[in-house]
Amino acid sequence: MSPKAVNVRVLTMDSELEFAIQPNTTGKQLFDQVVKTIALREIWFFGLQYTDSKDFPCWLKLNKKVLGQDIKKNSPQTLTFKFRARFFPEEVSEELIQEITQKLFFLQVKESILTDEIYCPPETCVLLASYAMQAKHGDFNDESHRPGSLVNERLLPKRVMEQFQLSPEEWEKRVVTWWKEHRGMLKEEAMLEYLKIAQDLEMYGVNYFDIRNKKGTELYLGVDALGLNIYDKQDKLTPKIGFPWSEIRNISFNDKKFVIKPMEKKSPDFIFYAPRLRINRRILSLCMGNHELYMRRRKADSIEVQQMKAQAQEEKMARLQERERIQAEIERRKQAEQEREAMRRKVEDLERSAADARRALEDQSRITKELEEKRKQAEEAQLRLKQEREEAEREHERMMERVRYEQEEKDKIVQEIEQARRLADQKAVEAQQKENEARELEEQLREAKLRVLQAQQHPNNHTNNNHYTEHPGEYGNPMEDEESDEEENNSSRNGRGVELLTNEYASRHEENRTTATTKDHNMKRKLEEERKSLRQQQKKAETREDKIYRDNIFDKGIDRYQTLKKIRQGTVKRRIDEFEAL
């Protein structure tokens, strides 16, 4: 009878995976199955996290059976793990190669900032929120991203939202102002820009542990990609003493006592005490993993990493070419749309011109008819005048004849003849006037006909000389487990130790780094304007972290890397003495 399989649920930052494992399945076998499923090759940053029976977060030991580890069951039939980044890179733009790796880091760091696990100043929170929106939605669009559309988005930490007298809509407006400046940026590029700013935050990638020195002073030990740092209990932003990994040759613990041996053999051991044995185990595991990655970064890339970088570069070039093709296609479509719009306006102009011409033609036709009517009336009047004149002439002749035959009535006839003559002259003048009017009407008629002919020819010219043809566009590997391969005896108080292969001359270039916002003067200026603008809306008092951050950055003028350089100055012995004196 085959052993009964156990259901396993693995929560990544953006998905939920389910597996069935056998009782003899090891942590490494489960881990390999997870990274294969999500196509992740940069496995050395990640691990599987679970909660033990005492509600402590732990990392799954890869060289042991899954069911042999103290995993708290949320349900009788299912084990739950979180797939999380365990170790952090020094420089995200150089070390995070795969797109899936960048996305997982982006989502995890964003969640840590939103939950205040990593302190971020308010003005930088607004900037990071804009990159998060670009990474999620792409370019800002006035149509799809109307005011109020981001109200349900998790844009900022609750601490920031409550600290200032701004409504969600006003916060949204501030984020959108920054978001609009990222136009044209790929979603993958926005994620990387987010991480490049986040990695400069003082708490980024730091694991904090409660420790005490020999005097019993309670302090924090910070373990990160660059080394070990000591913090005051009231200040997680500003380390007091620092030791880069290149200065450490051996780390070990015995019960609650943790011993670090420096590369300088004349220096005393760096000793501190943890409240529980399990904390020393976690510190040792983190130190081993971070130290190995620290030294690996200072060597030539392995063949595997070189291949991944080459593949990532090819994929990036392919994405850029695709983006250029899409942009060119968008421009072509935009140009075609502009041309269609211009042609539409031109056609409308021609239609208006043709309508005007038709109206003018109708007006000319009406005028022509009126003139023709007047011409006919003038001709009829002229004919009547002619007839009257002829009749007058005949009457004159009859009168003359009567004069010859009626001498006795001479005076009377002479008067009548004279009267008739005057009447005839008057009629002749009127006839001449009518004749002149008729000539003028004929001249106006000829001009009207000429204009009508020209108006009829005009639209034809437009139609014949303007042709439009529409051409559619062508749219064409993880660090090993917390323990060694030897069986762990939880009840044993014997210590463990490991000799680190350290090059004490390894580069410490991180001490001379500058933050992303310092490099970009325009961004630095806008962040300062954002900070001043927010202070005018401040409702609650600054938090302790706000005051520490402002004191470091604006009063002392030192950022994370300048602080790092400062706390590493002096001999190792002097720094250890300072630690003991705290």
Higher pLDDT: 64 or 410? It is: 64
Residue 355: the pLDDT is 92
Report the pLDDT value the prediction gives residue 293, as an integer from 0 to 100: 92
Is residue 127 predicted with pLDDT exceeding 70?
yes
Is residue 284 predicted with pLDDT exceeding 50? Answer: yes
Residues 156-173 have a mean pLDDT of 92
Q: How confident is the model over 451-463, as a mean pLDDT? A: 63
Mean of per-residue pLDDT scores for the chain: 86
Read off φ and ψ for residue 475, nearest 5 degrees. Answer: -100, 15
Residue 334 tokens, joined: 């935009």
**Which residue in the block uniquely carries the two structure tokens 């590493």?**
568
pLDDT tens digits, one per residue of 225-249: 999 999 999 999 999 999 999 999 9
Q: End-to-end CA distance of the chain, in Å?
A: 62
Do 102 and 131 meet the contact criterion of CB atoms below 8 Å apart? Answer: no
pLDDT of residue 55: 86
Strand order in the sheet with 57-59: 16-21, 6-11, 78-85, 46-51, 57-59
Count of alpha carbons within 13 Å of 64, Cβ hemisphere only?
18
Residues of the chain with pLDDT > 70, as a percent, come to: 91
- pLDDT at residue 305 in the model: 86
* Residue pair 236/208 in contact by the 8 Å Cβ criterion: yes
Res 87 pLDDT > 60: yes
Q: Is the pLDDT of residue 467 over 80?
A: no
Dihedral pair phi/psi, residue 52, rounded to 5° = -85, -175
Q: Looking at domain 6-85, which of 2.40.50.100, 3.30.300.160, 3.10.20.90, 3.40.50.300 is its CATH number? A: 3.10.20.90
Instruction: Report d(CA 219, CA 241) in Å as an integer.
Output: 11
Residues with Cβ < 8 Å from 332, sequence gap 6 or more? Answer: 473, 474
The mean pLDDT value for 107-122 works out to 96
Report residue 461's pLDDT band, with 50, 70 and 90 as the boundaries.
Answer: very low
CA distance 174 to 155: 11
Amino acid letter for position 223: V
Residue type at 270? F
Distance of CA 285 to the CA centre of its chain: 39
**468-479 confidence digits (pLDDT tens):** 333 333 333 444
Query: Please, which residues have CB within 8 angstroms of residue 582's CB and are 6 or more apart in sequence?
Result: 213, 215, 217, 219, 230, 232, 240
* DSSP output for 237-296: SSEEEEEEGGGEEEEEEETTEEEEEESSTTSPPEEEE-SSHHHHHHHHHHHHHHHHHHHH
**Is the pTM of the predicted complex or chain greater than 0.95?**
no
Domain boundaries along the sequence of the chain:
6-85
Residue 544 above 60 pLDDT? yes
Instruction: Average the pLDDT over 218-230 and give the result.
Output: 95
